[in-house]
Amino acid sequence: MIGLRLASAVVAPLLKKLVRRGEPGAGLAEGPVRIGSLLVVGPERDAVSAGELRKPVAELVDRAARAAGPHEAPDAEVRAELTEALLRSLTALGGLEMDDVQAVSLGPQELAGRVRRPADLSAAADALYEPVLLALCTHLIDHFTRRSTFVARTLVEQTRQARALAERLDVLAERLPSRTAADAAFEERYARWVVDTHDHVTIHGIDVGDRWPLDDAYLSLETTTTGHDPGGVADELGGARAAPQRAEAALRHLDRVLLRGGAGCGKTTLVQWLAVLAARQRGGAGALELRLAGRVPLVLPLRRLTRRGAALPRPAEIPAAIDCPHTPPEGWVERVLNAGRGLLLVDGIDEVPESERGEVRQWLVSLVRAFPDCLWLVTARPSAVGHDWLADAGFGDLSLAPMSGTDTETFVRRWHTAARLPEQSAEDLLDALHRRPDLSRLATNPLMCGLICALHHTRHGYLPRGREALYQAALQMLLERRDQERRVRAGVDLDAATQILLLQRLAYWLIRNERAEMEREDAVDVLADALPGMPALADTADAAQLYRFLLERSGLLREPADGVVDFVHRTFQDYLAAKAAVEARDIPWLVRQAHKDQFEDVIRMAVAHGRPGERDRLLRQLVKRGDTVQRHRIRLHLLAVACLEHAAELSPEVRDLVRDRAQQYLPPRCGEEADALAEAGPIILDLLPGPEGLTEDEQVASVRTAAAFGGGDRALAVLRRYREVGSAEVVRQLAGAWRWYDADRYHTEIASHLPPAGVRWPAASNRIVELLTETPGADHIALHEPPPPGLLNALLTTRRLRYLDLRGVPLPDLEPLRSAESLGTLSLCSESAAGGLEPLTSLDLTTLVIAPGASAISVDALQALPLTGVSELYLHGETPLPTADLIPAGVRLLELPRRSQPPLTFLADLPHLAWLSIWQRTWPLSETDAAALAEHRA
């Protein structure tokens, strides 16, 4: 009612202030315009907008108050509160990641819903907030539709959507012919089950029953390529192969991926997200959505497949093996896989005993060879398998990178939103992370970051120091404190110490049997064996009651299937099992198992739990076994070094013994050795030598080791020693490490001392871009996120750029590039070329990279470019190439797009071609093509 009474004449003064004068796009633009560019509000314009908009917003609130009636009208204090809330909301509106066409399609109700409601509104202000914001959004959308260019842009957008729909229909027509009516009906039921099963994650530390919607929980983490990289950009482009990519960007052009990452880094969440994305089939125009069109997700958790010692399933047995409640039509799985429609997500190689992994590999390879056209993703911890474990089966290797500072900030804010906590609580935690490097180093994966968020909330800002103290506090929170504060009373009264003793028994059984799950009957029996030593507890409950209590109230156990129990996360299992092993004096047994990857965290936590004498004994025996067992020498010695971080008290003799063994592996000589040393913890920083007396490879690996400890003073002190080294590879490593540190401090202490020219600067944040604009000579820059308005112009006008990488960076248009006359190498994808390629006609490019993007860049757009000077052309992803006319006669290095199939007879017209890359596995060569290749000099 209030919204309807706020007529256009009332809102007009505010719109006049809100909408920017001299709106961009006076002519017919090829793409919609971002909301932020149309409004005076936004993250970078808070101070300006608050002053300009306060008066009209206050007038609007007064009119709304009067419209409420003489008796319901709020007082002056409430009106002032509402004015401030609306000012914050308008600022957030300018920061929304959408354009005007998307805003209009959403409608005013949903657009208003995208703006986060202030959490601290009084009841009186809250009653007026939504109607007034809805009125504002209604008039704002009406204004968008009246703009002179909106209709033209809408028609262009509709044309794009129609083209994307046609492409999707072509893909579906190719993939779905084998599907029967019974298959289609079953797949609808199956898709609903996949979404119901995987479209949520648990919020640790809030409530046992709380679930976080996957759309809110999924955080797009970065990946790095450490092994085989089919279709990657050549090393001649300055090491672009090693540049981090967001997970979905990396996956959209790979058919088979081995994804490796540490505990809690988000591997399983990514598996869930891909499964739900494929099951929903929302029909987006992106490259990943198009690749998943018509695909059927099959999530294969290996811990479940190998349950009760079961043999790995044959294709027809997969639905039953993953506990799907629906019975498929006979032969359905084979039809899906034979048609290449399967998306097989194999999760948790590390959760299979090491002795059984060879069998798992054979099973995987046989399935891949039987169904080569399906998409595959296999996950594992890095220590479980090497990056080339599946290389001979055509798998590329990706590693999930630790969360950057930006990722951590995003996660913290999302966590607090999901927990319905005030924004100020998130700001306080982020401030604590900035002040405490020990804490920020722990908050580099979603699991640990979530625990830190929960502890910060429940402990009112107090946070423990160190990993072991963090786990201990988390257990106290999960097992006792939350129920006490929420006044939850269960049938059994157990304090935290008693629960930990019982959970230790279960965790210890699992690691002794090298299992990730156990039968319910086994769990009950293990608890029953503990009762004779707890007479007071035995008088109040039996083993079955204790099991039910721990399952329902501890927050640490779950039943993934009927009759089976496991820990919600392997981290808690390892922590509790280590405590049980130390208390049972099972140190010799731990040492005998130390070479197995699934025992690494158990050994570290055992050192943390042990008393000084027990730590000395464990580390002495670990070093001794490393000295005598040649096969596992390096692993055992480095594990002993890693344990030093967790030893609060240790005899000097043992500490010196371990450090002496570490010296044998210093300096590191390659990337893998550097990563292994980084796992040993910050203690390794005190041992890193150089740069004097080291070879270039050793210098590069040493910098890589130190850079892994982002944000710390000790790591910066090591990197400072290398800033004067003239090696191009060392400089490249130092430039790439900028993303892990505070941008301004790293610029002052490291980046400003490096030779700027010729260095490929990965600009992971816009603050780094700002600092690079002030760095004379920086001429090779790769952007990792969209720059705010004006920043790209400033970058291009203040220096003579020779190399610019815009892959994965969405831009409304490439107009700012017209002034980059010195640009020789340009990397693009369709997100960064949404406004068309026409601005590139004024450039004299020698190298052009068209990387995978949300959709293919059209042949017409490419053919309109004057590519006569291009000698290196990389056409990746889905960019079509139906004719060889596009390829300049002077090109020397050529990488053809994956979907193209031009006859290779055109090579005769390219006598200067010296290097050619094609996708042989997806592009079978004809006899004519093979002959053309054989005759050519390339």
Joined together, the tokens standing for residue 569 give 């996360």
pLDDT per residue as tens digits for the range 553-598: 777 888 877 788 888 778 888 989 999 999 999 999 999 998 887 8
Identify the CATH class of 191-401.
alpha beta
The first and second tokens of residue 253, run together, are: 């052009």
User: Which of the pair, 659 or 25, is modelled with greater confidence?
Assistant: 659
pLDDT reported for residue 370? 92
Please state, in angstroms and rounded to a whole number, the distance separating the CA atoms of residues 844 and 190: 53
Q: Which position has the higher pLDDT, 542 or 619?
A: 619
Closest CA to 532 of 513, 505, 508: 505
Residue 178 has pLDDT above 60, yes or no: no
Provide the 10 A C-beta neighbour count for residue 544. 13
Residue whose pair of structure tokens reads 């949520």 in the numeric block: 200
Determine contact, residues 634/666, Cβ cutoff 8 Å: no
When pLDDT is averaged across residues 270-285 and rounded to a whole number, the result is 81
Higher pLDDT, 650 or 777: 650
The identity of residue 677, as a single letter, is L
Confidence of residue 858 (pLDDT cuts 50, 70, 90): low
pLDDT of residue 238 exceeding 50: no
Q: Is the pLDDT of residue 250 over 70?
A: yes
Predicted confidence (pLDDT) at residue 427 exceeds the cutoff of 50: yes
Chain segment 894-921, per-residue pLDDT in tens: 877 655 556 777 777 777 788 887 765 4
315 contacts: CB under 8 Å, gap ≥ 6:
333, 334, 337, 367
- Average pLDDT of the segment spanning 728-737: 88
DSSP 328: P
For the chain, the maximum distance between any two Cα atoms, rounded to a whole number of angstroms, is: 91
The fourth-level CATH superfamily of domain 806-938 is Ribonuclease Inhibitor (3.80.10.10)
How far apart CA 28 and CA 37 sit, in angstroms, is: 16
pLDDT at 854: 47
Per-residue pLDDT at 725 exceeds 80: yes
CB-CB contact of 90 with 116 (8 Å): no
Q: How open is the CA angle 458-467-258, to the nearest 5 degrees?
A: 110
Q: Round the average pLDDT of the chain to a whole number and report it.
A: 77
Residues 6+ away with beta carbon under 8 Å from 760: 238, 239, 240, 732, 735, 780, 781, 782, 803, 805
Q: Which of 836, 829, 839 is nearest to 796 (CA)?
A: 839
Mean per-residue pLDDT for 246-265? 79
Count of other CB atoms within 10 angstroms of residue 795? 22
* Stretch among 51-60, 208-217, 504-513, 903-912 having the lowest mean pLDDT: 208-217
> What does the pLDDT look like over 281-319, one tens digit per residue?
876 556 677 678 888 999 999 888 887 677 899 999 999
Least confident of 67-71, 432-436, 719-723: 67-71
What's the pLDDT score for residue 456? Answer: 85
Predicted local distance difference test score (pLDDT) of residue 621: 94
Residues of the chain with CATH 3.80.10.10: 806-938
Looking up tokens 């006490």, which residue turns up? 484
Give the residue-averaged pLDDT of 364-386.
Answer: 88
Q: What is the pLDDT of residues 517-535, one digit of tens each?
A: 889 999 999 999 988 888 7
- Rg of the Cα trace of the chain? 30
- Convert the pLDDT of each residue in 587-627 to its tens digit: 999 999 988 878 888 998 999 899 999 999 999 999 999 99
At residue 638, the pLDDT reads 84
Whether the link from the prior residue into 353 is cis, omega within 30° of 0, is no
d(CA 851, CA 825): 13
Residue 485 confidence (pLDDT): 44
pLDDT surpassing 60 at residue 468? yes
Q: Are 94 and 36 contacting, i.e. CB atoms less than 8 angstroms apart?
A: yes
Give the residue, 886 or 365, on which the prediction is more confident.
Answer: 365
Is the pTM higher than 0.75? The answer reads no
Lowest-confidence range among 331-340, 457-466, 614-623, 897-906? 897-906
Q: Are 429 and 412 in contact (CB under 8 A)?
A: yes
Specify the pairing of strand 803-805 against strand 825-828.
parallel
- Residues of each domain in the chain carrying CATH 3.40.50.300: 191-401
pLDDT score, position 337: 92
Choice between 880 and 46, residue whose per-residue pLDDT is larger = 880
pLDDT of 278 over the 80 cut: yes
Q: Are 399 and 266 in contact (CB under 8 A)?
A: no
Alpha helices, DSSP H, located in 554-586: 570-583
pLDDT of residue 361: 92
| Planar angle of CA 728, 730, 732, nearest 5 degrees | 70
Specify the pLDDT at position 39.
59
Amino acid at residue number 194: V
Q: Give the pLDDT mean for 783-811.
A: 79
pLDDT beyond 70 at 515: yes
Give the span between the Cα atoms of 247 and 721, in whole angstroms. Answer: 33
> Count H helices, E strands: the chain?
42, 20
Reference 804, options 224, 238, 249; nearest CA is 238
Has residue 241 got a pLDDT over 70? no
Q: Residue 228: its pLDDT value, please? A: 36
Burial bucket for residue 71 (CB in 10 Å: 0-12, 13-18, 19+):
exposed
pLDDT at 150: 62
Residue 378 and residue 331 in contact, taking contact as beta carbons nearer than 8 Å:
no
The residue assigned the tokens 């990746």 is: 876
Question: From CA 595, how far away is CA 626, in angstroms rounded?
Answer: 9
Question: Which has the minimum average pLDDT: 171-175, 601-605, 809-813, 893-897?
Answer: 171-175
Of 143-152, 557-566, 810-819, which gets the smallest average pLDDT? 143-152
Mean pLDDT, residues 465-474: 78
Task: Tell me: pLDDT of 768 over 60.
Answer: yes
Instruction: List all residues 6 or more positions away from 560 whose beta carbon is below 8 Å from its beta carbon.
Output: 301, 304, 517, 566
- pLDDT tens-place string over residues 115-135: 767 767 787 788 778 888 887
